Structure 1
């Protein structure tokens, strides 16, 4: 019996319905990936399944007694509750009581004790202590500090807390909308492992092809209001989809040819009219209606990069270059790098390792504090911002792009702004809509349109794949590969890097930059690994630590173990005794800095100040990790 059944769902917000008699059944244990173009209604469908949005027609049936949970796409903007409070909120009444009990337990007045007794009685009636044990257990399983406030956690850890909240209720089905956005590769790997171990059914939206290949047991496509199921993995789906489109085109061509013949027959001369077959006339009317109701598949985005005059053969050359902020935070050290015209460079590293600082050095926005960085000549740079900061949300797409122009020059040809936007799949009506109502994918397409409307011979793209559908991704890949200029890409999309870049620069978090030939897979094949993976490997059989990109804001303070004097020298014993204090100070410093960068007003500061704080935070995080590693190393020696 299906766990979830969608029967005849219909929903329309405009002229064309998002859902048109759409139906689907999902069995227990399936992992179903929902694919479709940007704007087709994938997120809306998930909201219908969760009950957040109601359909115009049709039914949603979840097996009786089954539990549904949701991992939201967007992280909370300024959530001040603790991890314990958020996970406990999965049980609405009980969660509130447990939170209240914990708050009252920290107070000592008589009134608080009286209220605690009432709360305790209600918790016992609701079997609340069992649920408290479940909350505590899953926080421990995911290595989450229950007292950490969500707005002081990194993006990866926030998503980990939200996943814990979704799974603490033992759901039978989990809904996920773009779960890998803004996560680095180690965080994505952790998420994949956590979801693989989940025994319930998954329905998820994603455009990360490597993630889909790992997770999906079935592909369902939302296309022109209908749900089409492909009982296959992602690669087989691509083959089946191509064949299905070819067959659809063939059938449509045969239908149109027959309709044209019938239209010619009905318009014959007077003699034909006297002998007209009325049954044939009625059949023609039915064919006209069928053709009128046909929804054509939307066009494919068709854009190109406007080439500027060629840059000099040398784009940038660094010799023993480094960059240290005034506070002593060294982000880049001993950089030796040569980038030539036409190179496609991918930057890989965990969040906070200095990728943006490296790009700014390569572009000349920062001057190295040691060594030299020599810039080439005739450089025209176009920058794709992952935060979409170049878009004015209060203006429409047309105004964002045109900047007062009616026509723009693209590779020597004048194009009307509306016509140019149609190449990026914006209809005239959509082009006049405010950007604030656009989906993430539409905003990304608009930013690409703005980026590619200006001449450039150096393209810098910071996380360009977030929110883009697969077709647009593939077109972007082909354009970047054929682009005659230089491309610098910061991305955590493993397949995108494999398909585009010719060289990979890996930032290990210590300031060192390592160069590898090829893309992400080639880097892996040449022995590349993230620092967090190396730490886990070292500690196999011992207490493992989470990836640095997912590190909580305050590490658990290690309890010092008195070393055996016969194994450690006096100097090492003294170092071991001092390490816990140093760790505590670093924890406090990192927690304060993360609280600072989590403030919504932080990114309103000048760009240089923002970068300075972020790079200082990255340095302190790396120092904290290294200090804990040193403590564990000395502790092990002392116990041998």
Structure 2
């Protein structure tokens, strides 16, 4: 066991005037299974890159371990998988690699196939198995779930549960809950580390947020009460002072010493009230700094002239003589929220492409309603670049509405001035979702919409779909999201 010490860390990217981190300090035990959580763009991947020594920074980072990053960048994906493993780490015994692959339910046969021939899920498992072969290394695991189906996520999560000495960036709540014992959260104003899993952290955060909101309301009432009391006392003090002159003009005699003493006493009381008021204001200013506000999203679908929008009967999809899926039968009716599930490679995306009107070779019966308008969110964000306003114009959506939705999804106004290609993975995905919410459609088709998206925004989108109950066909491997949102499940 050793410690990773981060002291007074301050960092900003060269093209930015704003610090991502300022005088941040924390300690990590190298035996921990540490989960990372935080809104998109807060700097989770940046911290990993700082630990790897990729950027210059002020402050100090010290550690007695070597860092390795997942996903490892494979230079030659056409090479045999065993050669790729040797490129990452050659100092292993074959039985060790065999043991790790067995834990991940990966056949040793894949080692003698080109790396590129494996599915994304298999590639993820092989890279994780290889990186965990290294001794005295601390693994930085960045979003491993994005290419894993629900079953594979459970398998990889169980695998990580059996390990120690890693940082895991993931927004999948069930995945985190199963395999971490500490969590680091990047909040609005600070970084904090807690013992426990994601649910423990979330429960503590809700409790703290509730306390701060209640305390803030109490302080607001105190501040108003003290402000009113200070005004009344000041007024009384001035009235007493005025009474001196008033009595002189009327010819009556008064005890000026008594009046002066009374006025001074009132003024002293007024100052005391003002000090208490200032103290309450300062106490209030310390609250609510890390509360994550999420505004409600809206979705208005077009009404369709028929109940049934789509029907597939015994559909099979084939590429180059290989059958991707077969026997697919389901209907989409107004109000359905259908989760299309199945293992990686079972044909989910192929079925979605068929529905979207792409030229997909298939057999069986496929019927799509006439003039059906579909809004689509793709898995792929690589085509996103350029200015947000130009992007909105190119896609014929309302710029103001588009920006308003992005603001609700935690985009700062400064973000609107940047090129989309510089956005984080989660921010790019939010661009696609915001575009989809702006489009006039009868049916929304979303293919893995939550990849890279932070937990707060996931819950925000869940609430949207449950409130407005749109007609939706989606593929999503986040188990909690699927359970809450889907009214029907179609498994391939």
TM-score (norm 2): 0.78
- Which residue matches 1:60? 61
Matched residues, number: 453
* Aligned with residue 139 of structure 2, among 174, 177, 180: 174
Structure 1 residues 417 and 178, CA, compared in 2 at 3 Å: closer, same or farther?
A: closer
> C-alpha distance in 1, partners of 2:328/2:109?
36
Greater CA drift, 231-240 or 468-477: 231-240
2:434 corresponds to 1:476? no
Structure 1 residues 249 and 417, CA, compared in 2 at 3 Å: closer, same or farther?
A: same
Structure 1 residues 440 and 263, CA, compared in 2 at 3 Å: closer, same or farther?
A: farther
> C-alpha distance in 2, partners of 1:449/1:305?
10
- Which residue matches 1:19? 21
> C-alpha distance in 1, partners of 2:463/2:276?
48
> C-alpha distance in 2, partners of 1:76/1:301?
41
2:348 corresponds to 1:348? no
* Aligned with residue 304 of structure 1, among 298, 301, 309: 298
DSSP 3-state at the match of 1:180:
helix
> C-alpha distance in 2, partners of 1:334/1:153?
25
> C-alpha distance in 2, partners of 1:162/1:290?
49
* Aligned with residue 50 of structure 1, among 49, 52, 60: 52
> C-alpha distance in 2, partners of 1:40/1:263?
38
Measured after TM superposition, the shift of residue 458 of structure 1 is: 0.7
* Aligned with residue 94 of structure 2, among 112, 127, 136: 136
For 1:549-564, list aligned pairs within 5 A: none
User: Is the CA contact 1:311–1:378 (under 8 Å) kept in the aligned structure 2?
Assistant: no
User: Is the CA contact 2:340–2:489 (under 8 Å) kept in the aligned structure 1?
Assistant: yes
Structure 1 residues 354 and 146, CA, compared in 2 at 3 Å: closer, same or farther?
A: closer
> C-alpha distance in 2, partners of 1:266/1:22?
42
Structure 1 residues 292 and 56, CA, compared in 2 at 3 Å: closer, same or farther?
A: farther
For 1:436-475, list aligned pairs within 5 A: 436-475=421-460
- Which residue matches 1:396? 387
User: Is the CA contact 1:18–1:225 (under 8 Å) kept in the aligned structure 2?
Assistant: no
* Aligned with residue 249 of structure 1, among 201, 207, 213: 213
- Which residue matches 2:70? 71
Measured after TM superposition, the shift of residue 229 of structure 1 is: 2.6
- Which residue matches 2:175? 211
DSSP 3-state at the match of 1:436:
helix
C-alpha offsets along residues 35-67 of structure 1, whole Å, 9 cap, x if unaligned? 11111111112222333334422x3332x4x44
Structure 1 residues 180 and 318, CA, compared in 2 at 3 Å: closer, same or farther?
A: closer
For 1:602-613, list aligned pairs within 5 A: none
Measured after TM superposition, the shift of residue 498 of structure 1 is: 1.2
> C-alpha distance in 2, partners of 1:400/1:309?
27
User: Is the CA contact 2:315–2:328 (under 8 Å) kept in the aligned structure 1?
Assistant: yes
Structure 2: runs of 5 or more not aligned: 102-107, 239-262
C-alpha offsets along residues 241-280 of structure 1, whole Å, 9 cap, x if unaligned? 1011112223444555666678886997895999785997
Measured after TM superposition, the shift of residue 223 of structure 1 is: 0.3
User: Is the CA contact 1:311–1:457 (under 8 Å) kept in the aligned structure 2?
Assistant: no
- Which residue matches 2:157? 192
- Which residue matches 1:574? none
> C-alpha distance in 2, partners of 1:5/1:369?
57
Measured after TM superposition, the shift of residue 447 of structure 1 is: 0.9
2:375 corresponds to 1:374? no
TM-score (norm 1): 0.62
For 1:379-528, list aligned pairs within 5 A: 379-388=372-381, 391-393=383-385, 395-403=386-394, 407=398, 415=400, 417-507=402-492
* Aligned with residue 221 of structure 1, among 158, 162, 185: 185
Structure 1 residues 11 and 349, CA, compared in 2 at 3 Å: closer, same or farther?
A: same
DSSP 3-state at the match of 1:53:
coil
C-alpha offsets along residues 559-608 of structure 1, whole Å, 9 cap, x if unaligned? xxxxxxxxxxxxxxxxxxxxxxxxxxxxxxxxxxxxxxxxxxxxxxxxxx
Structure 1 residues 44 and 253, CA, compared in 2 at 3 Å: closer, same or farther?
A: farther
C-alpha offsets along residues 50-99 of structure 1, whole Å, 9 cap, x if unaligned? 33334422x3332x4x4433323x754754555445444456xxx5xxxx
Structure 1 residues 487 and 40, CA, compared in 2 at 3 Å: closer, same or farther?
A: same
Structure 1 residues 49 and 254, CA, compared in 2 at 3 Å: closer, same or farther?
A: farther
User: Is the CA contact 2:74–2:84 (under 8 Å) kept in the aligned structure 1?
Assistant: no
C-alpha offsets along residues 339-360 of structure 1, whole Å, 9 cap, x if unaligned? 3211111111222222223234
Measured after TM superposition, the shift of residue 383 of structure 1 is: 0.5
C-alpha offsets along residues 190-215 of structure 1, whole Å, 9 cap, x if unaligned? 423432332x3222111111211211
DSSP 3-state at the match of 2:453:
coil
Structure 1 residues 85 and 52, CA, compared in 2 at 3 Å: closer, same or farther?
A: farther
Structure 1: runs of 5 or more not aligned: 96-130, 409-414, 508-640
> C-alpha distance in 1, partners of 2:140/2:79?
23
DSSP 3-state at the match of 1:352:
coil
Structure 1 residues 194 and 319, CA, compared in 2 at 3 Å: closer, same or farther?
A: closer
RMSD of aligned Cα (Å) = 3.7
User: Is the CA contact 2:223–2:280 (under 8 Å) kept in the aligned structure 1?
Assistant: no
Structure 1 residues 368 and 148, CA, compared in 2 at 3 Å: closer, same or farther?
A: closer
- Which residue matches 2:7? 7
> C-alpha distance in 2, partners of 1:46/1:497?
29
Measured after TM superposition, the shift of residue 462 of structure 1 is: 0.5
For 1:225-374, list aligned pairs within 5 A: 225-254=189-218, 284=278, 291=285, 295=289, 297=291, 299-323=293-317, 328-363=321-356, 365=358, 370-374=363-367
DSSP 3-state at the match of 2:6:
strand
User: Is the CA contact 2:222–2:280 (under 8 Å) kept in the aligned structure 1?
Assistant: no
> C-alpha distance in 2, partners of 1:190/1:298?
32
